[in-house]
Amino acid sequence: MILFSWLLDPANWTGPYGALTLIWQHILYTLAAMAAAAVIAVPIGLYVGHTRRGELLIAGAANILRALPSLGLIVLLVILLGPVFTSDLAFLVPSLIVLVLLAVPPIMTGTYSGIANANRAAVDAARGMGFTPLQVLFRVELPCALPLIFSGMRGATLQVISTATIAAYVSLGGLGRLIIDGRAQNDYSQMAAGAILVGLLALCVDLAIELMAYLTVSRGLTRRETSRFPNIRRRSDPSSSPTVQRDVSP
């Protein structure tokens, strides 16, 4: 089987260019980009969602970034910034900038719409009980927004994993190396190995985030049956559970 022959050779798994190293590199790029993007996007989303200022700006920025071809952006930045840096930084910095840039809009939109769609009654009740605006934000709106924040994070992570693969074209490490090098050497089994591994990585990360959301989101929001009141049927009202358009372009 040409699909698995590269993967089944133990010699391909270890060493400085082995599959294990490449998987680890891919995870590191993803974590770094996601952390940086969350630090930028979550506060902006919280601010805009709470104050309702700059909603149009957020929507516009998200739209433009969705349409930007990521490959073009990476290549552009490598040529512009490449001469500024020496050694590996010449492609590492441009690639990471693009990864962060792509991860910001989904997280920002998710946070913003989660906060903006937080149950009005709960927010009013918290105000009535004398919560300060910050308390309302962090104790009521933020927990209500978690499902949408997580769904934004999922979209962003997929985007980052996918684009990090593409960045192998400008010499970034990670699993994209197998695809780009395999193409250059006309070695289909190596390309297939890269494709399979990066697909599996994306799937695992996606499921991990879903699990994290399942464990952290309040039961009052997910409407999972609690064992104490198994007979209570909650009125199902689809309009009250907001959904965001999941961001695509993997």
In the complex, the residues that contact other proteins under the rule CB under 8 A are 2-3, 63-64, 66-73, 75-76, 78-80, 158, 161-162, 165-166, 169-170, 176, 179-180, 183, 188, 191-192, 194-196, 198-199, 202-203, 206, 238, 243, 245-250
Shorter beta-carbon distance to other proteins: residue 144 or 192? 192
CB of 15 to other proteins, least distance (A): 23
Shorter beta-carbon distance to other proteins: residue 63 or 218? 63
Shorter beta-carbon distance to other proteins: residue 51 or 241? 241
Tell me which DSSP letter residue 69 carries: -
Distances, alpha carbon 110 to alpha carbons 105, 153, 174, 215, in Å: 8, 8, 28, 18
Shorter beta-carbon distance to other proteins: residue 40 or 75? 75
Distances, alpha carbon 248 to alpha carbons 52, 63, 142, 244, in Å: 25, 12, 24, 12
CB of 49 to other proteins, least distance (A): 20
CB of 69 to other proteins, least distance (A): 4
Give the pair of three-digit tokens for residue 2: 């040409």
Shorter beta-carbon distance to other proteins: residue 37 or 137? 37
Q: By CB neighbour count within 10 A (0-12 exposed, 13-18 middle, 19+ buried), where does 237 fall?
A: exposed
What are the start-end ranges of the H helices in the chain? 19-51, 55-67, 70-81, 89-116, 120-128, 133-135, 142-166, 176-184, 188-216, 219-222
CB of 4 to other proteins, least distance (A): 11
Q: By CB neighbour count within 10 A (0-12 exposed, 13-18 middle, 19+ buried), where does 75 fall?
A: middle
CB of 94 to other proteins, least distance (A): 11
Shorter beta-carbon distance to other proteins: residue 146 or 169? 169
CB of 31 to other proteins, least distance (A): 17
